[in-house]
A and B are shown apart, each in its own frame.
Chain A
């Protein structure tokens, strides 16, 4: 799955923040529609992927992780420009999923409605 070009992963819960101390403030100040630079997540336990943070909703007056998702796509091993273009394209897709709102889900600030719909379906059938 992690190598599939058509698969996009969205991480809503941030147990691990993939930033150093210097970049943390940049991440906290991201405004709605802004993303971080893309970086490669590598680990022995998993397939390497390209990832970046994206702010879906304005976090003013809320916590720094409000509306913040991390996106993972397959690592195509392309040049930097290609990776950035890919990140922009996928970010636009994800931003488009802000509507309709996933309320009343408690994670609605990060939750795409389609995901919630899918979860509802799975709960009904499983």
Chain B
């Protein structure tokens, strides 16, 4: 607000007493009772004296507020009103009242010498002040812009966009983001969806390409990222406009979901036929699983001997011709079924020779490893198949600004672990080799409390998340994690996150030591944040900043399942038809029934998988060719053969 001569009105004035002095990091100021200021407001203090030729400007954010009167005891007010509250309001003179605020220094300009904050006038920060206070001016320069909008800061009529630095959000300087908040307020997932949209819109071209891999771990949260949001209100649209992010759903989204144990129904809440076009089965065979088989094996159960055998199988048996004098035949193990046959042959050979070991591996170890490995397909039914038909993420051809959603919401815990532990290291490997197709990948994992807990056993998933948190930023692999209780997530995961975002917090969580650095007022504000408000900590911000973000531009999970209800469980033929129609729109149910009429269910699924993977131009011919040839029925004719001799009519024994 401008005052006389275009000079802005001061909002308050810095005050210091012997008991409550100002420091270089904190200062106090009073304001009028009607000043538009509150916890989280950013202010500027105008210095009064030039120091080394510069009049300093000090920027601060309000972290605490006090209001008091000249009363020594509340009892005095009660006595003065005869204990009747209404009477207090009828006094002809208002009691003197003061608004006193404490602000934490965000920045002093110039930076040196760092002195206590002077007794100057306090102004509400404008756009330029906020950019300077939060050190955003460094990455908002047109020639070196790496700014990613995260929301809008509102205070006293000021509405300023707040930006994160892509170099510190997505590497290489710092990376990773954690978001904490109570469940049920649609803050965590919404904030990540919004932020992904913002990143895709503003990720600097010079930094290369970027994609996101999101693990949908519960419900339909991420199942409708390509569908427009319903009812974005004008305030939301204004925020999108202000922040330069299109209010549109993601243009390129690919869904991956394993099958249900039946082998042909996709195990996802995004099962509506209208949305099936970009849902791909996630189906792994022996080759994909074996490298990460240890995830599914009980660590206490698999000792060094078993480990040695697994290593032998991985390197000497799988994927190559294996011959041995003890075995009945050469084996080429490409699937779990092949592996079972190989084990059977080995154990048969040992029994025949009455031997106790083979190639230094004891028969008991061989039996144990056989049991553990061959039941993986049963334990992860739908994800891991016995046959060798594989359907996987598009390794090597990830596309820029594309979201890959891996839906593991309905998987058993073992299978979820396998998905995490294979997908993320694969991303890391391919980013290391620069062969993924994009240069940066954001991995979004919800429920970090569950997957990277601060206590409990050291799981492979936690190890993997720690690895990403500690080394990912050099590779362009960035972890966005969400959790309800930050205090219960492994401290190396949250500690390595350069950016921390908080929605409304649980009071119990705020009482944990990790939040002691926040003032009581900030903690209280965090416990009462509205939907759509966030507190942001970022390496450039010396103090947390409160922002408001718009509702995400995509259909929410709750609305999505109402508009696109879960498809009823289809028969095998219907499921085959639907999936083949994605390759060839002319496929009919009758044709599928005709082709599969005599085939076993396993054969049909194998044929379907092979057809999907092959991507043949003539889908009908390829699918039909996968079945055994059926010899057409012929009526048998009895050949007529002339007898060697004929018996006489009266004596049939005369031959």
Q: List chain A positions with a Cβ less than 8 A from chain B.
A: 93, 96-101, 103-104, 108, 112-114, 116-117, 120
Residue among B72, B88, B90, B96 making CB contact with A104, cutoff 8 Å: B72
Residues of A near B70 (CB, < 8 A) are: 104, 116-117, 120
In the complex, how many angstroms separate the beta carbon of A103 from the nearest chain B beta carbon?
A: 4
A100-B93 in contact (CB<8A): yes
B72 to A97, Cβ gap below 8 A?
Answer: no
Task: Using CB atoms, name the residue of chain B closest to A121.
Answer: B96
Contact residues of B between 29 and 63, Cβ < 8 Å to A: none
Instruction: Name the A residues within 8 Å of B315 (CB-CB).
Output: none
Residues of B within 8 A of A101 (CB): 76-77, 79-80
Q: Per a CB cutoff under 8 Å, which of A99, A113, A114 touches B90?
A: A99
* Given contacts A98-B80, A99-B80, A103-B71, A117 and B90 within 8 Å (CB-CB): no
B391 contacts the other chain (Cβ, under 8 Å)? Answer: no
Closest 5 CB pairs of A and B: A101-B80, A103-B76, A104-B72, A99-B91, A114-B93
Is B72 in contact with A103, judged by CB distance below 8 angstroms?
A: yes
- In the assembled complex, B434 has its CB within 8 A of some CB on chain A: no
A117 close to B79 (CB less than 8 A): no
Instruction: Determine the residue in chain B with the shortest Cβ distance to A99.
Output: B91
B184 within 8 A of partner (CB): no
Measured CA separation A111–B90 after assembly (Å): 17
Q: Are A113 and B76 in contact (CB under 8 A)?
A: no
Q: Judge whether B71 and A104 touch: CB under 8 Å.
A: yes
Minimum distance in angstroms from A115 CB to a CB of chain B:
9
Binding site secondary structure of chain B: loop
How far does the alpha carbon of A19 sit from the alpha carbon of B642 in the complex, in Å?
A: 167
Quick one: which of A97, A103, A104, A120 contacts B93, CB cutoff 8 A?
A97
Tell me the chain B residues, 72-126 only, with Cβ under 8 Å from chain A: 72-73, 76-77, 79-81, 87-88, 90-93, 95-96
How far, in Å, is A28 (CB) from chain B's closest CB? 23
Q: Flag if B72 contacts A100 (CB, 8 Å).
A: no
Binding site for A on B (CB under 8 A): 70-73, 76-77, 79-81, 87-88, 90-93, 95-96
Complex CA gap A113/B95 in Å reads 8
CA distance A73 to B411 in the complex (A): 90
Contacts of B79 in A (CB 8 A): 101, 103
Chain B hits for A113, CB < 8 A = 91, 93, 95
Which residue from chain B places its CB closest to the CB of A96 in the assembled complex? B92
Q: Which of A96, A99, A103, A117 has the most CB of B within 10 A?
A: A99
- Cross-chain contact A120 with B80 (CB below 8 angstroms): no
A117 contacts B96, C-beta separation under 8 Å: yes
A112 x B93 contact (CB < 8 A): yes
Q: Which residue of B lies closest to A105 (CB)?
A: B70
Please report the C-alpha to C-alpha distance between residue A93 and residue B91 in the assembled complex, in whole angstroms: 11
Residues on B with C-beta less than 8 A from A108 are 76
Residue of A nearest to B87 (CB): A99
The reply to whether B81 and A99 form a contact with Cβ atoms under 8 Å apart is yes
Residue of B nearest to A102 (CB): B80
The answer to whether B92 touches A114, judged by C-beta atoms less than 8 angstroms apart, is yes
Chain B residues, CB < 8 A from A104: 70-73, 76
Q: List 30 A-B contacts (CB under 8 A).
A: A93-B92, A96-B90, A96-B91, A97-B91, A97-B93, A98-B80, A99-B88, A99-B90, A99-B91, A100-B77, A100-B80, A100-B88, A100-B95, A101-B77, A101-B80, A103-B72, A103-B73, A103-B76, A103-B79, A104-B71, A104-B73, A104-B76, A112-B93, A114-B92, A114-B93, A116-B70, A117-B70, A117-B93, A120-B70, A120-B96
- CB A67 to nearest CB in B, in angstroms, measures 13
- The chain A residue sitting closest to B80, CB to CB, is A101
Interface centre among B70, B72, B79 (most CB of A within 10 A): B70
Q: Could you tell me the distance in whole angstroms from the C-beta of A8 to the nearest C-beta in chain B?
A: 13
* B80 in complex: contacting residue of A93, A103, A117, CB < 8 Å: A103
Nearest neighbor of B71 in chain A, beta-carbon distance: A103
Q: Which residues of A contact B73 (CB under 8 A)?
A: 103-104
Distance in Å: Cβ of A55 to nearest Cβ of chain B = 16
Q: List chain A residues, Cβ under 8 A from B81.
A: 99-100
A-B contacts besides A99-B91, A100-B80, 15 pairs, CB < 8 Å? A93-B92, A97-B92, A99-B81, A99-B87, A99-B88, A99-B90, A100-B77, A100-B91, A101-B77, A103-B71, A103-B72, A103-B80, A114-B93, A117-B93, A120-B70
Query: In the assembled complex, how far is the CB of residue B363 from the closest CB belonging to chain A, in whole angstroms?
Result: 92
Bound CA span A99–B91, Å: 5
In the bound assembly, the distance between CA atoms of A86 and B228 in angstroms comes to: 76
Residue of A nearest to B79 (CB): A101
CB contacts (< 8 Å) of A96 on chain B: these are: 90-92
Query: Which residues of B have CB within 8 Å of A116?
Result: 70
Contacts of B77 on A, CB cut-off 8 Å?
100-101
Closest chain B residue to A113, Cβ basis? B93
Using CB atoms, name the residue of chain A closest to B75: A103
A113 CA to B77 CA, complexed, in Å: 12
Closest to B91 in A: A99
